[in-house]
Copies of this chain bind each other. A is one copy, B any other.
Amino acid sequence: MPGKMATAVAEAVVARGLTLVPVGLTGATVEDESIDVSGVAVRLVRPDEREATLSAIAADDPATMVVDYTHPSAVNANVAAYAAANLSFVVGTTGGDEAAMRATVADGAASTAYALIAPNMGKQIVALQAALEAAAATFPGAFAGYTLSVTESHQSHKADTSGTAKANVAAFSALGAPLPVDAIVKVRVPADQVGEMGVPEAALSGHAFHTYRLVSGDGSVRFELQHNVCGRSVYAEGTVDACVFLAQRRAGGDAVRVYNMIDVLRAGEMS
């Protein structure tokens, strides 16, 4: 903290009526002593206090979950510290060495922590992506002869093509309608985002809009799929779901100790 994503998760924790431990890890150069999260003063902890703080939290309540949305360069040292304190953790940071994160809580590791690691915490986005991959595996070539076009809009400073769009295009390719990644249209100009994609003005600084169109060879059949996200709420909510899921796995003493968002989604059948 005070990163926007971690802060959004903390706000979602409070909104759900769960207990927010008012402590957040931060970088060595951050000057603030605390930040306000939904009226709660969250104390910011530098790296040199990290291990002692985590040990104290674990001593107070060993079932506490840690959420990590830090920089890729910081995530592995953080994860090693969570595991050393036997604190379970949810990692939404993309990048870093995931194999090393997994190893800290793998069978035979010294830690008793549980971990959930996922590059996308938006449950419904993850469900859509997994459903498309499953459809491609089950019905390969079902859309042969169709032409695919894809347009995605993100905040103007995002340089690369949407990873979700690329993953879904791979699934459409297996379904018979391939598209080169460089043919995915990136909309980065605010006026176009509002005019062409229908992005609300308020979401220009943070959104993820995707439109996929599939048209049959003779033009008589059209499929269109959109998934449009404003802000960070869906990721924050999914992260809290992940925490609740992981706490249940830990409380139940499950043998598996590393999970991802697909596992959270599948667990819906338990409700």
A128 at the interface (CB under 8 A from B): yes
Check if A268 sits within 8 Å of B140, measured CB to CB: yes
Q: Count of chain A residues with Cβ under 8 Å from any Cβ of B?
A: 42
Q: Is the interface of A mostly helix, strand, loop or mixed?
A: mixed
Residue of B nearest to A207 (CB): B220
Chain B contacts for A21, CB-based, 8 A = none
> Closest Cβ of chain B: how far from A127's Cβ, in Å?
4
Chain B contacts for A144, CB-based, 8 A = 268, 271
Counting every copy of the chain, the complex holds: 2
Check if B222 sits within 8 Å of A231, measured CB to CB: no
A268 to B174, CA, bound (A): 10
A18 at the interface (CB under 8 A from B): no
Check if A271 sits within 8 Å of B234, measured CB to CB: no
A224 to B212, CA, bound (A): 10
Check if A130 sits within 8 Å of B138, measured CB to CB: yes
Chain B contacts for A71, CB-based, 8 A = none
Check if A131 sits within 8 Å of B128, measured CB to CB: no
B-contact 0/1 string along A163-206, CB 8 Å cutoff:
00000000000011000000000000000000000000000000
> Closest Cβ of chain B: how far from A237's Cβ, in Å?
8
Check if A220 sits within 8 Å of B224, measured CB to CB: no
B-contact 0/1 string along A119-132, CB 8 Å cutoff:
00011100110111
Say which residue of B218, B224, B228, B233 sits within 8 Å of A233 (CB atoms): B218
Check if B127 sits within 8 Å of A139, measured CB to CB: yes
A56 at the interface (CB under 8 A from B): no
A114 at the interface (CB under 8 A from B): no
A220 to B234, CA, bound (A): 8
Q: Known contacts A223-B124, A234-B216; is A135 also within 8 Å of B140 by CB? A: no
Chain B contacts for A176, CB-based, 8 A = 268
* 8 A Cβ contacts from A129-154 to B: 130-132, 134-135, 138-144, 146
* 8 A Cβ contacts from A242-271 to B: 265-266, 268-269, 271
Chain B contacts for A73, CB-based, 8 A = none
> Closest Cβ of chain B: how far from A145's Cβ, in Å?
8
> Closest Cβ of chain B: how far from A171's Cβ, in Å?
10
Q: Would you list the 7 A-B pairs with minimal beta carbon distance, nearest first?
A: A141-B268, A131-B135, A224-B226, A139-B265, A127-B142, A140-B268, A220-B230
A-B contact pairs, 16 of them (CB 8 A): A131-B138, A131-B139, A138-B266, A140-B268, A140-B269, A142-B265, A142-B268, A220-B229, A220-B230, A220-B231, A220-B233, A221-B229, A222-B228, A223-B228, A224-B224, A224-B228
